[in-house]
Amino acid sequence: MSRLLQNSVLSLLLIIFFGHCREPYNFKTTGQIGLLVVDGSISDQPGPYFLNLGTTNFPGLAPLPVSNALVTITDELGKTDTYQEIDKGKYKLNVLSAFGRPGGIYTLHINLPDGRKFESNPEKMPTGNKPVDSTFIKVSNEKVITDNGQEVSYWTVNTYLNTRLPENSTGRYRWSVAEVWNIFPTCYPGAVSCPLICYIYEPISKFNLIVVKSSDYSHSKIENLLLMSRGVDFSFNGRHYFNVTQYSMNPEAYEYWSKVEQLITKRGSIFDTPPSIIPGNIRNIGNPDELAFGYFEASAAQITRTFVDRGAIPTYIETCFYYAPDFNPLYLNRFCFNCQNHAGSTIVEPDWFW
């Protein structure tokens, strides 16, 4: 790989890993800019559902968000609903009874401000039995050797999956992990009231992608499947949830995600190979030759939640100190004084967070 391409890949990885909202893939292209990038799905789980729209940018840069698009979704019964833009390039669909039905067939329609019109292939939500999943966490101390020969150790929190696939099934499944944790902001001694607790939603990492097909396994039980390794940091000061979502996919979605998984596994990241070799299900209605990236998916899903508490982490963790001066720009945890400044934060406690 050329050094120029390596630098582009590194820049893109930094954009993902240091971004703080659930972003679409930052696709590297063969130099073409302005091509549509779509990242969204619906499922049989309670919504709302979200969709990200962008256009390809110069190599090494994230897609440019697309605002003021008209985005609608229809089902095979003719029901239609419209997405509402809630931020630049981010759209939200409030759930109606017509959506999220196993066996339902859904099509996404996108009208861009420049007049281009796109449509997804009709996506059928899978039916049938879902795997029975259980998750568990192990905290471990990892050791690596640096370039100068020194041994460095660090603590990780690892999320594992045990699952039993439905017998005599041709089901296709994948798993993703989302993190939610809380911050107890600094409360000065003698204060009349303290800041509210914040709950932080971390973006889903698309580099922890596990895709399986039942027919590839001679037995139905999968044990100790590592889904995610997370380095210990200040986010483990309180309860830290790992929410594992299992998706049942139709054959077309399975083929797409399998190819993405192969690129991540064999090449290190999806940016090492132009994504034009991974056909999605989005097309330009007026110009079928124009490339569009991403996949709009209708999947049956279920969520399994597990968590780790501070007491399970046998190492020092940076925390909030009330005597740290708020005006000191060198103090890294400034959000301790107002955790709502932290990306992905909300003061609304999830009903499952206890």
The predicted pLDDT at position 62 comes to 76
Q: Does pTM top 0.75 for this prediction?
A: no
pLDDT tens digits, one per residue of 260-309: 877 765 444 333 344 445 778 999 999 988 888 889 999 888 889 999 99
What are the extents of the domains in the chain?
3-127+269-299, 132-248+304-346
pLDDT tens digits, one per residue of 11-20: 332 233 223 3
Does the structure show a pLDDT above 50 at 145? yes
| Cα–Cα distance, 99 to 106 (Å, whole number) | 8
Mean pLDDT of the region 235-249? 90
Half-sphere exposure of 243 toward its Cβ, with a 13 Å CA cutoff? Answer: 15
**H runs (alpha helix) in the chain:** 3-17, 251-267
CB-CB neighbours of 240 under 10 Å: 24
Give me the chain's average pLDDT, please. 78
Cα dihedral across residues 137, 218, 103, 258: positive or negative: positive
| % of the chain surpassing 70 pLDDT | 74
Q: Are 208 and 161 in contact (CB under 8 A)?
A: no
Reading the block at residue 122, the tokens are 């009709």
Query: Residue 329: pLDDT band by 50, 70, 90 thresholds?
Result: low
The predicted pLDDT at position 114 comes to 93
Does the structure show a pLDDT above 80 at 47? no
Cβ density class 165-196: b for 16+ within 10 Å, e for less: bbeebebbbbbbbbbbbbbbbbeeeeeeeebb
| % of the chain surpassing 90 pLDDT | 25
